[in-house]
Amino acid sequence: MISLQQVTKVFAGRTAVDGLSFDVEDGEFCVIIGPSGCGKSTTLRMINRLIPVSGGVITIGGKDITTYRAEELRRQIGYAIQSVGLFPHMTVAQNVGVVPRLLGWHQTRIRDRTGHLLEMLNLDPGIYSAKYPRQLSGGEAQRVGVARALAADPSILLMDEPFGAIDPITREALQTEFARIQKELRKTIVFVTHDIDEAIRLATRIIILREGKLVQHDTPENIMTNPAGRFVTEFIGTDRALKRLSRLGAGDYMKKAPSIADSEPLQSAARFLLEHPYLWVVDRNGRVLGWLDKNDLEGAEPTAGLAMSCLDHRTAAVTTESTLKEALSRMVQQGIRSAPVVDRKGALLGEIRMEDILEA
Ligand SMILES: Nc1ncnc2c1ncn2[C@@H]1O[C@H](COP(=O)(O)OP(=O)(O)OP(=O)(O)O)[C@@H](O)[C@H]1O
Ligand SMILES: [Mg+2]
């Protein structure tokens, strides 16, 4: 457990963090959010002992952090900093391996670990290991920053706007990916963001800061249903119902999806479409290619594959790890009333229906 008790930070007479107290339990995903300059990064830096507190106490595992040896802290805490901060003269692999090297790991162990982490963050090690930071896009660099923070398998992760430089679509994908990773790894995470949607999506508990003071510390559900005053209400914004959808997993709302192979004669579909409004069309490997409805029966095409309306699963489908909010946005973009759920290869697993979203 990480515990802050009455922690204060004063820079040259100005108070940046003001009597801050909160606990982060083991395995919790704590998101700190608040306007620019409210003291988020300063709080992370104090937990990491990069800067000393001006007052108060921070403990990790019940022990005052000032009593830890630097190396003990480094092993326990992974830190992804706000500006990414990759070392420009080191390759991606060397950047990821920095802390393991400091801890004296054997070379082959570092190489295996680095490869594994890059893969986990969807950066092909064969392509990315030897690249230099200047050869990466902003989003790739941030993913390398996250891999580096995870390198020595620390029990605590401090992440300062790790997805800040990433476009909204990649960002949503990374959030999904990160939520999945966290389900497996069960780290204790303190995560800073400006983005309330990101906070609601990822957090087990959210801390809202204003001018260095804690305004509310609660679960995303309670913050949305019981915001502590106008500041929080305004911070959350108006579309609370939509935001709630980002906490619901597509996997939990998936229904069985009717489908037909593209090579099947159109008559087979016709019988089915007497009772159901539409039918997914899949290839030999079960990959979604499109759908059929009654309108598609009017032409003279012989097979389901030739008569269907095409659909690209990469833009129209969701995975079991997606959220209902993503499913809804796919439906709206594509003008469809249900979104196919596919596995990593695009094979149809089921579907999310508009009526189930409205009910949720
Ligand atoms: N090293 C420093 N010296 C002096 N003042 C500082 C220093 N670091 C931070 N501050 C001040 O402390 C306050 C809090 O800064 P901090 O970086 O923690 O904000 P933040 O919440 O992370 O903001 P942002 O969302 O913009 O990253 C700001 O007013 C900032 O100017
Ligand atoms: Mg900051």
**pLDDT at 38 > cutoff 80:** yes
In the chain, the amino acid numbered 70 is A
The two tokens of residue 72 are: 């003990």
* Residue 138, ligand 1, Cβ within 6 A: no
pLDDT in tens, 119-131: 888 899 999 999 9
Domain termination site, one of 247, 277, 304 = 247
Give the pLDDT of residue 210.
Answer: 94
Question: Taking a C-beta distance cutoff of 8 angstroms, is the pair 152, 97 a contact?
Answer: no
Same domain, 309 and 230: no
Same domain, 150 and 285: no
Mutate to test the pocket of ligand 1, among 31, 40, 51, 210 (most ligand atoms within 8 A of CB): 40
Give the pLDDT of residue 2.
Answer: 97
40 Cα to the center of ligand 1, angstroms: 8
Question: Taking a C-beta distance cutoff of 8 angstroms, is the pair 218, 226 a contact?
Answer: yes
Stated length of the chain:
360
Give the pLDDT of residue 59.
Answer: 97
Which CATH number is 43's domain given?
3.40.50.300
The tally of domains found in the chain comes to: 2
What lies within 8 Å, CB to CB, of 144 at 6+ separation is 84, 86, 92, 95, 96, 118, 121, 123, 128, 133, 136
CA distances from 220 to 9, 38, 170, 200, 240 (A): 27, 20, 23, 5, 11
Same domain, 318 and 349: yes
Give the pLDDT of residue 142.
Answer: 86
217 Cα to the center of ligand 2, angstroms: 19
249-259 average pLDDT score? 93
Same domain, 143 and 156: yes
Same domain, 203 and 334: no
HEC string of the chain?
A: CEEEEEEEEEECCEEEEEEEEEEECCCCEEEEECCCCCCHHHHHHHHCCCCCCCEEEEEECCEEHHHCCHHHHHHHEEEECCCCCCCCCCCHHHHHCHHHHHCCCCHHHHHHHHHHHHHHCCCCHHHHCCCCHHHCCHHHHHHHHHHHHHCCCCCEEEEECCCCCCCHHHHHHHHHHHHHHHHHHCCEEEEEECCHHHHHHHCCEEEEEECCEEEEEECHHHHHHCCCCHHHHHHHCCCHHHHHHCCCEHHHHCECCCEEECCCEHHHHHHHHCCCCEEEEECCCCEEEEEEEHHHHCCCCCEHHHHCEECCHHHHCECCCCEHHHHHHHHHHHCCCEEEEECCCCEEEEEEEHHHHHHC
Give the pLDDT of residue 338.
Answer: 92
Per-residue confidence at 281, pLDDT binned at 50, 70, 90? Answer: very high
Give the pLDDT of residue 184.
Answer: 83
235-248 average pLDDT score? 79
Same domain, 217 and 348: no
* Residue 258, ligand 1, Cβ within 6 A: no
Same domain, 349 and 227: no
Same domain, 324 and 203: no
186 Cα to the center of ligand 1, angstroms: 29
11 Cα to the center of ligand 1, angstroms: 9
185-200 average pLDDT score? 90
Mutate to test the pocket of ligand 1, among 7, 15, 41 (most ligand atoms within 8 A of CB): 41
CA angle 218, 224, 226 (to 5 degrees): 70
What lies within 8 Å, CB to CB, of 289 at 6+ separation is 262, 281, 282, 283, 305, 308, 310, 311
Same domain, 261 and 221: no
In the chain, the amino acid numbered 306 is L
Same domain, 240 and 289: no
Give the pLDDT of residue 95.
Answer: 95
Give the pLDDT of residue 284.
Answer: 94
* Residue 38, ligand 1, Cβ within 6 A: yes
pLDDT in tens, 149-190: 889 889 999 999 988 777 777 777 778 878 877 888 889 999
Give the pLDDT of residue 344.
Answer: 87
Q: Comparing 169 with 94, which gets the higher pLDDT?
A: 94
Same domain, 61 and 79: yes
Ligand 1 atom at shortest distance from the alpha carbon of 192: 22
Percent of the chain with pLDDT over 90: 56
Give the pLDDT of residue 211.
Answer: 94
19: left (phi over 0), alpha (psi -120 to 50) or beta: left
pLDDT in tens, 47-91: 999 999 999 999 999 999 999 998 888 888 988 877 668 899 999
pLDDT in tens, 24-35: 999 999 999 999
Give the pLDDT of residue 253.
Answer: 93
In the chain, the amino acid numbered 47 is I
Q: Comparing 319 with 121, which gets the higher pLDDT?
A: 319
| CA–CA dist 234, 227 (Å, integer) | 9
Per-residue confidence at 280, pLDDT binned at 50, 70, 90? Answer: very high
| CA–CA dist 3, 74 (Å, integer) | 18
Give the pLDDT of residue 103.
Answer: 86
The β-bridge partners of 59 are 3, 64
Which CATH number is 266's domain given?
3.10.580.10
Average pLDDT value over all residues in the chain: 90
Question: Taking a C-beta distance cutoff of 8 angstroms, is the pair 31, 158 a contact?
Answer: no
In the chain, the amino acid numbered 138 is G
| CA–CA dist 168, 150 (Å, integer) | 23
Domain, as residue range, for 41: 2-247
pLDDT in tens, 334-345: 888 899 999 989
Domain termination site, one of 247, 270, 294 = 247
pTM score: 0.77
Per-residue confidence at 15, pLDDT binned at 50, 70, 90? Answer: very high
Domain termination site, one of 222, 247, 272 = 247
* Residue 193, ligand 1, Cβ within 6 A: no
